[in-house]
Structure 1
Amino acid sequence: MYGSNSVAEKEDYLIMESTNDQNFVVINTYKDKFIIAPVNLEKKEITPKFQFIEIKSDIDDKVEFSLVHTGKLKVKKVTGEKQNNDK
């Protein structure tokens, strides 16, 4: 219960900006990987499409993150999942 409350209260996140101007937020870590998801900082909304990226990197192939005070972020609700129309 404490873990979920601390996430709900979190307001500072590591943000990565990709080359196509899409921001990603670091959600958590798993082993030697970051778990990231697209984020809209204006709407303060995370899109639940998660990716894993390596924490370690070479100096020539480094990924940069910035610690950003985002305020509380919410997860975008996904609706309209594909339905099986086979009968």
Structure 2
Amino acid sequence: MQLAQRHPVSASAPDGTAVVPVYTSPRYLHATGPLGFEQLPLVDLLDRIPPGHSLCLNGSAPVSMVLPTDGLAEALREEQADGPPSTDG
């Protein structure tokens, strides 16, 4: 039996932008309170973002950021396909 895909929490940024909260550190995640969460690669999360939503990075941190997702999944996939940058001089 296959489990249904879970949808991320939707919220509003201070300016009213529809966002999905994303945390890069357990410190900022736990500062928001007792939330359920799932840890996954960004490229997998982007497939679940509702249309018209951006990402709100570390909303509980002293500095947070709203990041539009338009084209981000494609850019990440291209980067992964190209491999890591060369360190040859």
Q: Which has the higher strand share?
A: 1
Q: Tell me if both proteins adopt one fold, taking TM over 0.5 as the criterion.
A: no
TM-score normalised by structure 2 residue count? 0.30
TM-score normalised by structure 1 residue count? 0.30
